[in-house]
Amino acid sequence: MNSKILNLTLLYVEDDADTRKSLTELFQNKVNKLYVAKDGVEALEIFKQHTIHFIISDYRMPNMNGTELCAKVKELNFHTCFVLLTAYNDTGLFIDAIDSGVDKFIQKPVDSEKLFNTMSAIEIKIMNKFKLEKSTICLQEAEHIALLSYWEVNLDTKKINFSQEVLKLFQFPIKEDNINYKDILSIVSTEDKVKFIEIFEIRVFQDDKIDEIITINKTNDEKIYIHIIAKRWTSSACGGKHVVGMFQDVSHYELQKIKLIKESQLDTLLNIRNKKYILLELEYLIDSSRRYGHPIGVIFFDIDDFKAINDKYGHLIADDILIELSNLIKCDIRKSDLFGRWGGDEFVIITGHSSQHATIELAQKVTNKTIEHKWLYDISLTVSMGLSFYEDGDDINTLLHRADLKMLEAKKDGKNRYSY
């Protein structure tokens, strides 16, 4: 007989003392751990107190027979494998045994080789189940660690199923049963709701691939960035076409990307926006104004005779003056206004959604404050400003060019003033 030791725990149940003794000796050398009971009642108590991988039990026993024991075991753990030993060849017995959940029958007298082969087959079945459970647990842990959850669409039934990890990922108290994409929709940011609806109502049924990023509103007014990726596939096992997708929290990467973008669009000396950012934002404002008709104002200005200051005091002091001017102007503009450095000592203020009158008042205020301010090193400083306002047919170049011409006009008129 094969001498392999099975890495399992066996509960052996037999009321006949001689049979119990002989098979106990056999089992002790064949399994990792063995429990022995003389009847079904004792066996059930052992089963409740210990982890049992499978049971080999005689059929006819006092107090509780083998099929009755099997039924009670299966109520406690349906997956426990149950082998019934019987000397009877009765159709009614086999039907009752099958109804109670018996997995395998072995006729008495027991053929030891056949018994061990059966036990080896049971071990393979149990170990495969353990591997599947381990894979499932590992997948769930991987989902948690990677901040992702999966979902699946059956294109035949149009049904969308979400994994339970979606609850943790979205930090949202959705009911654990019957998760619906509309539950998730309620926490999707306003600007991404249309995209999210389109993904789950249209694109999952039409596109071969989906690759999108949406934002989710957290309870503390912060946002998390979710990568939605999906691919269509055909299942040979399940039949029909499916879409398998994932949600993944990519906030760390998106926030890093946003930070890098902002840094690339920042004047590091003055800590204000640079020319690149100004052009991007102005283009956006112009597109928006074309659709909705809101006003846009541009104030283009530089420091009067800044070259003379630079030549007299040097670059380091000149940089200090630029920083001081930048900080002075920051105090006067609204959060909705855009202030940036065009280059050298040239600056731009863009007043989106402000009236012409409000833009002119801002130019006057900045001009006056520049004159009245007590500058470092007792330097006298003034600025010349040119203003332009969005008109039908304008683009970035025409709007900025008019402001630049008006600034030159202010300089020709004596400097220390604004022109529009």
The 10s digit of each residue's pLDDT in 15-26 is 999 999 989 988
CATH code that applies to domain 146-255? 3.30.450.20
What single-letter amino acid sits at 335?
K
CA distance from start to end of the chain: 104
Q: What is the pLDDT of residue 141?
A: 63
pLDDT cut 90: percent of the chain above it: 48
Q: Pinpoint the alpha helices (H) of 249-386.
A: 251-264, 275-292, 306-313, 315-330, 356-372
Whether residue 243 contacts residue 227, with contact meaning beta carbons closer than 8 Å, is answered with no
Nearest CA to 61 out of 101, 21, 13 is that of 13
Tell me the average pLDDT across 140-160.
76
The 10s digit of each residue's pLDDT in 70-87 is 999 999 998 889 999 888
Tell me the average pLDDT across 281-306.
92
* Average pLDDT of the residues of the chain: 87
Domain 265-419 matching CATH 3.30.70.270: the answer reads yes
What confidence tier does 1 reach under pLDDT thresholds 50, 70, 90? very low
- pTM of the full structure: 0.48
Whether residue 2 contacts residue 46, with contact meaning beta carbons closer than 8 Å, is answered with no
- Give the residue extent of every domain in the chain: 6-140, 146-255, 265-419
| pLDDT above 80 (res 299) | yes
Whether residue 88 contacts residue 59, with contact meaning beta carbons closer than 8 Å, is answered with yes
Please give the backbone phi and psi of residue 230, each rounded to the nearest 5 degrees, phi first.
Answer: -150, 155
The top-scoring range by mean pLDDT among 50-64, 126-140, 392-406 is: 392-406
The 10s digit of each residue's pLDDT in 180-236 is 788 888 888 888 999 999 999 999 999 989 999 999 887 667 888 999 999 988 766
Residue 7, C-beta contacts closer than 8 angstroms, at least 6 positions apart: 32, 123, 127
What confidence tier does 136 reach under pLDDT thresholds 50, 70, 90? low
Phi/psi class of residue 180: alpha, beta or left (left: φ > 0; alpha: ψ in -120 to 50)? beta
Judged by DSSP in three states, 26 sits in helix
Q: What is the pLDDT of residue 336?
A: 83
Name the CATH architecture for the domain at 6-140.
3-Layer(aba) Sandwich (3.40)
| pLDDT above 80 (res 137) | no
Element (H, E) at 132: helix 112-145
